[in-house]
Amino acid sequence: MEVYILKKARFFFLFLFVGAASALVALGVNTSKAESFADPAFQQTWERTDKPVADGVVKRSFYWGPAAGPQEIEPYTEGIGGKRLVQYFDKSRMELNNPPGKNASSADPFRVTNGLLTVELVTGKMQIGPSTFVNRYPAQIPLASDTDDPNAPTYASFAGLMAPVVNKVGTASVSYIDRAGKVTQQPNVATTPQQSIAYFEPSTGHNIPEVFWGFLNSTGQVYSGGKLITAKLSDPWFYASGFPISEPYWAKVKINGQSNTDVYIQAYQRRVLTYVPSLQPEFQVQMGNIGQHYYDWRYKNAGQGTGGQTAVPQPTGASAASDGLLITGAVKTPATLNLAALKPITAQTVQASFGTGDTHTYKGPLLLDLLQAVGGDGNKGRDLPIRYIVATGQNGQKAVLSWGEIDPIFEGTKAIVAYNQDGSDLQGGQGPVRLIMPSDKTAGRSLYGLSRLEVRALAPNKPSGSVLQITGAVKNPLSLTASDMTSRNPVTEKVTYESGGVASTHSYTGVPLLQLLNEAGATGSVTTYVVAANSEGRQAVISWGELDPAYSGLNAIVAFQENGILLGGGLTRLVMPSDARGGRDLPYLLSLDVRDANRQ
């Protein structure tokens, strides 16, 4: 019998794998008194899914664990005084995004979050702010086995398996992973319905098999408002887990002393999901004990491996703003540019007032020039519409820009990285550099203290179907045909595009994109963006700032007619009138997915 112990002060739990054919049983054992909940919001979050389990009302695995664990005040750059309250559970860590006790009854599930623990353990980078990290080491702690199993995969085993892959929905295959992170295909092993890929997550580029997709979307009895109701256990489905960061893999591990036990493993941003077919059905799919593993890694330096690595804190990101502007992500040559490096670059001068009535003059290099210099434009061509930039400024504030809005091939806003305002270098909290979006009517995306520019690119995605789906960070997902558009106060836009040096004008009739997003219940911000995809697998990114009249306010539409004639196949077309060459126009539009850079 394998015993897992997590102990601090008066707190410890035992987790036992009981019998080779029996279910996993979680027992809460108090030496004197269990840890209390650090905040009413934590208790409310735990009670929703796990009180019915602890009370014996339902038979399923815990989402958090049988009881609360250690409380900590941890550094976080956006917290009050640079800190925030957290509490550890066996299967996660809860984080309070408001001051203790504030808005404890709020219905927003993201008031209490659980950190990107898997990402931290796999990469070895401990996150202490939206873009601030401490370099530690990838954790050599087994994800889904007895802790003394020398051959089981660890978090570090997944470090090389996070790259996006293609959409595999409807297919099934068998792959095994070993401790070294080596993946071996097993083409002659029969697949099961549980292994069939049910969903592809485009934001991370990974596939979710039926067995985990069903678990993440399962319903059951939960506590809400002091009574039991039937509802989704995780709403939205990614609230507890985050998005997948690996493909699913089988492994041969030791469980309850039994070697060569088959376990199906998939890493998600916030959790690890496991499927053990030999357990009782109610407990075959579980969330791993990542809260235990992370706590031991962070506070006890567990998982260093035989190399004896030492955790040496090295602040990066926003806290290193004084060292220069970091340009990273999907670029060929990451770079850090200080003022001495920026000032020799050809500068542009722009004026902006941001709705204040006071116009200022800003000077600095074009953002596009900096990104192209480090290879941020990838392979150009169709690589460009799928790219976007996450900018980070003072106090970790973020904003999203699409590549299309700063490149003259498309919209061509003259965004600059300014170091000078009205003839004087930026000083104090305003500098040393500031992102300036001169076409925006307000300053929400013109970030002071610009410290980081991360270029991101979409993973491949080819949606199927015959209707337009509006999904993602929306309250009311929509399925729309071209005929549905006619009752939504359509507008007509004359659009002129240039191709091969020849300009042509077309008239498109459709519904404003922002109107459809608002109807779906999207509540956008400067970190929100929309991913459009068509039946051919072409995609394009539109930032919320491009659409919102508080910023650029562009008239993008979802068209159903061209020059007065219905579009072919009864489908719709994304039309971006501001793009010079129509590079983000997508015929046969099938998907509009709303996303938020703060939740990735």
Q: Is 188 exposed, middle or buried (0-12, 13-18, 19+ CB in 10 A)?
A: exposed
State how far the Cα of 562 lies from the Cα of 415, in Å rounded to an integer.
Answer: 32
Q: Identify which of 45, 5, 49 has the alpha carbon closest to the alpha carbon of residue 26.
A: 5
Q: Identify which of 573, 386, 413, 589 has the alpha carbon closest to the alpha carbon of residue 493.
A: 573
Between residues 147 and 280, which one has the greater pLDDT? 280
Task: Identify any residues that bridge with 333 across adjacent strands, giving them in sequence order.
Answer: none
Confidence (pLDDT) at 274: 96
CATH 3.90.420.10 matches 468-599: yes
Residue-wise pLDDT for 321-370, tens only, equals 346 899 998 888 888 888 888 888 889 999 998 877 789 999 999 999 99
Would you place residue 35 in the very low, low, confident or very high pLDDT band (cuts 50, 70, 90)?
A: low
Residue-wise pLDDT for 371-404, tens only, equals 998 888 888 888 899 999 999 988 788 999 999 9
**How many of the other CB atoms lie within 10 Å of CB of 104?**
17
Q: What residues contact 135, with CB distance under 8 A and at least 6 apart? A: 124, 125, 126, 312, 313, 314, 316
Beta strands in 276-433 (DSSP E): 285-287, 315-317, 325-329, 335-337, 347-352, 360-365, 387-392, 398-402, 416-418, 420-421, 424-425
Question: What pTM, to 2 d.p., does this model score?
Answer: 0.52
Would you place residue 319 in the very low, low, confident or very high pLDDT band (cuts 50, 70, 90)?
A: very low
Percent of the chain with pLDDT strictly greater than 90? 58
Q: Identify which of 139, 132, 496, 94 has the alpha carbon closest to the alpha carbon of residue 320.
A: 132
161: helix, strand or coil: coil
The two most distant CA atoms of the chain are separated, in Å, by 81
Residue-wise pLDDT for 142-188, tens only, equals 999 888 899 999 999 999 999 888 999 999 888 999 999 999 988 76
Between residues 541 and 99, which one has the greater pLDDT? 541
Q: Do domains 315-457 and 468-599 have the same CATH topology?
A: yes
Q: Which residue has 């050809």 as its token pair?
A: 346
Confidence (pLDDT) at 184: 92
State how far the Cα of 306 lies from the Cα of 292, in Å rounded to an integer.
Answer: 21
Q: Identify which of 405, 361, 364, 422 has the alpha carbon closest to the alpha carbon of residue 543.
A: 405
State how far the Cα of 453 lies from the Cα of 317, in Å rounded to an integer.
Answer: 10
317 neighbors 451 (Cβ within 8 angstroms): yes
Q: What residues contact 538, with CB distance under 8 A and at least 6 apart? A: 382, 385, 586
Rounded-to-5 percentages of helix, strand, coil across the chain: 15, 35, 45
442 neighbors 551 (Cβ within 8 angstroms): yes
State how far the Cα of 251 lies from the Cα of 248, in Å rounded to an integer.
Answer: 10
CATH 3.40.190.10 matches 315-457: no
Confidence (pLDDT) at 135: 85
State how far the Cα of 477 lies from the Cα of 472, in Å rounded to an integer.
Answer: 8
**CA-derived radius of gyration, the chain:** 25
Cα within 13 Å of Cα(368), Cβ side: 18
State how far the Cα of 201 lies from the Cα of 242, in Å rounded to an integer.
Answer: 11
Structure tokens that stand for 228 in this block: 């039991």
Domain boundaries, the chain: 3-300, 315-457, 468-599
Confidence (pLDDT) at 129: 82
Averaged pLDDT, 512-541: 94
Task: Identify any residues that bridge with 28 across adjacent strands, giving them in sequence order.
Answer: 13
Per DSSP, helices labelled H in 442-581 are 482-485, 513-519, 544-547
State how far the Cα of 368 lies from the Cα of 384, in Å rounded to an integer.
Answer: 12
Whether residue 124 is predicted with pLDDT greater than 50 in this model: the reply is yes
Confidence (pLDDT) at 600: 62
Confidence (pLDDT) at 210: 97
State how far the Cα of 55 lies from the Cα of 36, in Å rounded to an integer.
Answer: 17
Residue-wise pLDDT for 561-597, tens only, equals 999 999 877 789 999 988 888 889 999 999 999 999 8
Pairing of strands 434-436, 416-418: antiparallel
Averaged pLDDT, 532-540: 94
**How many of the other CB atoms lie within 10 Å of CB of 110?**
12
